[in-house]
Structure 1
Amino acid sequence: METEIRFTHRSLVERSKTGDRTSQYQLYELYVDAMYNVSRRFLGIKEDAEDIVQDSFVDAFKNLDRFKYESSFGAWLKRIVINKSINHLKVKRLPLTSMDEHEYHLTDEVEIEKVDAIDILKVKSGIEKLPLGYKQIINLYLLEGYDHNEISDVLGITTSTSKSQYHRAKKKLVEIINGL
C-alpha cells in the first residue's frame, strides 16, 4: 500500500530552508495559483503576472532564512508578490494617478447608493474600470486584507492618504457598478 506523506506548512518551510527541492516544489504547488491571482489583479497582464510570481518564488526560496514565522508563509510570500507587482508597474513607468487631481475625483457631497446582492462579475468589471491608483487601493484593502498602515508602507504614502484614497475609490466603484 502506498503511503502519502503529508507535511505541515512549517515542516515544508523548514525542509525548504535546507535546500530540499521536493519541499520547495510542494510549497510552490500550494501557493502558485493564489499568488498568480494576486499579481494578475495588480498587473492585468497574464505574462507579466506569471513572471512576477516566478521571480517571487525564487526570491522567497533564496531568502527563507529571513522568514521567522511572524506571519504565515503565504502572507509573507504574498507581500513579496505584491511588492514585486507594484515595483514592476513603477519600472514600466505606468502613470500612478494622483487621487486629488484625477478626473474621477469625487467630492464628499456624492451620495453612495446602497447596493444589495451585487453580482460578483459586476464588481470585478467595476474594479477593472477603476483608474490604476484606485484599483491598487481597492485590491490591497478589500481583496488582500491589508490595513491602511500596511498600504501606506507598500505604496509609500501616508496612512491618511490611504484612507482618503480608499474612500474615494469605493465611491467611484459604487458609481461604476450602479452604471452597469
Structure 2
Amino acid sequence: MANANQDIDSLLEQCKTGSRNAQFEVYNRYYKPMYNTALRIVKDSHWAEDIMQESFLKAFTKLDSFKGEVTFGAWLKKIVVNHSIDNYKKINKSSLDPIDNVLYKVADDDGSNEEAAIDFREVKIQQVATAINSLKENYRIALTLLYIEGYDQEEISEIMGITAGNTRTTISRAKESLLKKLKG
C-alpha cells in the first residue's frame, strides 16, 4: 500500500508539471469509482460521466491545493460529490425540499429500535438500492452520502448545505422512510 501511495504521489507531481501521460494514468485509476459516486447522486449515466470528467479537470487544475492530509482518492471523491450535488440542485431545484426553512426537534434516542424489526439477512442488496432510489431526493442523497460514500453527519451537513440539526433529522427520517419501504 505504501508503494501505491508513493506511486500516486509521483504521478501527481508529474501532473503538476502538465504531463498528459500522468494525468491519463491518474484518470484510469480513479475514473470508475468517481463515475459510480456521481451516478449514485445524479441517477443519469450521461450526466454522471460529464460531472466525473469536469471533476477531474477541476482536480488537475487545483492540484496545488491538495495538501496530502487525506488520500488523493478521498480528496477527488469530495470534489465529485460536491460537484454532483451542486449540479443536481441546479437542474432539480424543486426536487430538494427547502428543509432549512422548517424547524425540527430531533430526539437523539427515543429508545425504540426499529432496525431490529427487519431481518437484514433476508433483504437483498438490490432491494435496498431500489428502496433508496425511490426515496425523496434529499433522503436519497443523505443516505447515499452516509452509507455508500461513508461521510459522517458533519460532512453531510457541509455537503448538503444544511444545519447539523437538519442533517440529523433528514437522516433519521430517511432511515424511517427506508425501513417502511423495505417492510412493505
Scaled to the shorter chain, the TM-score interval is: 0.7 to 0.9
* Correspondences of 1:122-161 after superposition (within 5 Å): 122-161=127-166
Aligned to 2:168: 163
Gaps of 5+ in 2: 102-109
Gaps of 5+ in 1: 1-5, 102-107
Determine which of 116, 128, 133 is the counterpart of 2:120: 116
How many Å separate the matches in 2 of 1:86 and 1:138? Answer: 13
Q: What is the DSSP-based 3-state SS (H/G/I as helix, E as strand, rest coil) of the residue aligned with 2:154?
A: helix
How many Å separate the matches in 2 of 1:135 and 1:141? Answer: 10
Q: Is the 8 A contact 1:15 1:23 kept in 2?
A: yes
Change (3 A) 1:14 1:172: same
Aligned residues: 170
Change (3 A) 1:150 1:91: same
Change (3 A) 1:100 1:72: closer
Determine which of 164, 173, 180 is the counterpart of 2:178: 173
The alpha-carbon deviation at position 116 of structure 1 amounts to 2.3
Change (3 A) 1:31 1:94: farther
The alpha-carbon deviation at position 94 of structure 1 amounts to 4.2
Structure with higher helix content: 2
The alpha-carbon deviation at position 85 of structure 1 amounts to 0.7
- Tell me the TM-score normalized by structure 2: 0.85
- Tell me the TM-score normalized by structure 1: 0.86
* Correspondences of 1:18-167 after superposition (within 5 Å): 18-92=17-91, 93-98=93-98, 111-112=114-115, 113-117=117-121, 118-167=123-172
Q: What is the DSSP-based 3-state SS (H/G/I as helix, E as strand, rest coil) of the residue aligned with 1:116?
A: coil
